[in-house]
Chain A
Amino acid sequence: MSAAADQGEGTGIRPAGEFGMFVFLVSEGLLFGALILAYAFSRMLNPGAFAAGSAALSLPLGTLNTAILLTSSFVLALATVFADGRRDGIARIALAATVLLGLAFLGIKAFEYFDEAQRGLMPFRAERLRDPFAPMSDTRPFFNAYLVLTGTHAVHVLSGMGLLGGIALLWQRLKRPSQALTLAALYWHFIDVIWVFFFPLLYLVGPR
């Protein structure tokens, strides 16, 4: 069997795997679509809270995180190009770089959460939890949506890092590493697309 056929080319394995991955991504798209719908519903009912809440976020950190995720997708796209060209060593290095960029994204996100919690903006550090008679914060509806949207997204980034990191580590033991990489890359690019929509919805609500 030729090397190309061994990697699943021309055998039906590639198209079947790709279709299966897209069916999964469509179900994920419905999950995030429903979350964005809840966001839009809340934003229409509380326009002031969303403008004020969005202005309280750090635009430089949000922009940096978007750039990091776009870069990670680019590096991963290069990894698939290298893997298809049978340059396994450099493909694995690019994979590891993608995982590190994902880690940087989560680190910055965690710092943002910490900072927003310190300022009492987050639902779990709200003034009302300690004093039930305190007035509800003006930005609370926004931060409810913010926490749910970014939290769900962060869990996906974490699982994507596990998937890509696992492929990089087990490359030699996988039967079709280049095929596994192609499918996992679809998942990572999808997570990137979700963030591309979240960034303007969360960080760019009102004029700066």
Chain B
Amino acid sequence: MTARLAVVTYVGLMALLALTVGSSFIPLGPANTVLNLAIAIAKAALIGFIFMHLRRSSVLVSLSVVTLVFWLAILFSLTFVDLLTR
């Protein structure tokens, strides 16, 4: 990571923050929540790939992150299978 790349990432993060706050003043119903979460994932990806160097990390590190997503997917899907089918 270079200082220049860090600045570009920071500007991107702040723009996404402005976008998510701005979008909350436009009533879109449930789409507001979906949009907010999509922006949050984009921000997390920027921080992860650039600030946390996931862009050029080892296979082991990438695998550990995939493991987290995998277990969270099981945790959430099984819970909602119960909650949404009651």
Compute how far the CA of A76 lies from the CA of B1 in the bound complex, rounded to whole angstroms.
12
Chain A residues within 8 Å of B85, by CB: none
Near B by CB (< 8 A), chain A positions 13-38 give: 15, 18-19, 22-23, 25-26, 29-30, 33-34, 37
A196 engages B57 (CB within 8 Å): no
Cα A207 to Cα B21 in complex, Å, equals 11
Q: Is the CB of A196 within 8 A of B51?
A: no
**In the complex, what's the smallest C-beta–C-beta distance from A83 to chain B, in angstroms?**
12
Interface contact B79-A44, CB-CB below 8 Å:
no
Contacts of B51 in A (CB 8 A): 73-74, 76-77, 185, 189, 192
Max chain B Cβ within 10 angstroms of own Cβ: one of A25, A33, A63, A77: A77
Return the CB mask of A32-69 against B: 1 if under 8 Å, else 0.
01100100110010000000000000010001001100
Q: Which A residues are closer than 8 A to B by beta carbons?
A: 15, 18-19, 22-23, 25-26, 29-30, 33-34, 37, 40-41, 44, 59, 63, 66-67, 70-71, 73-74, 76-78, 80-81, 185-186, 189-190, 192-193, 196-197, 199-200, 204-208
- In angstroms, Cα B24 to Cα A208, docked, is 6
CB of B47 within 8 A of CB of A73, answer yes
Q: How far is the CA of A190 from the CA of B39 in the complex (A)?
A: 17
- Min Cβ gap B81→A in Å is 13
- Contact yes or no, B40 A200, CB < 8 A: yes
| Chain B contacts for A70, CB-based, 8 A | 10, 13-14, 17, 43
Contact of A41 (CB < 8 Å), options: B2, B9, B13, B79: B79
Chain B residues near A189 (CB-CB < 8 A): 47-48, 51-52
Interchain CB contact under 8 A, A74 and B6: yes
- Asked if A78 contacts B75 (CB within 8 A), the reply is no
Closest 6 CB pairs of A and B: A200-B36, A74-B10, A207-B27, A77-B6, A26-B68, A22-B64
Question: If the complex has contacts A22-B65, A37-B75, are A74 and B9 also in contact, measured as CB distance less than 8 A?
Answer: yes
Q: How far is the CB of B37 from chain A (nearest CB, A)?
A: 7
Instruction: Name the residue of chain B whose CB is nearest to the CB of A34.
Output: B75
Beyond the given pairs A30-B72, A77-B51, 9 more chain A to chain B contacts, judged by CB atoms under 8 angstroms and listed by A's residue number, are A15-B58, A63-B17, A81-B6, A196-B40, A196-B44, A197-B44, A200-B33, A205-B33, A207-B32
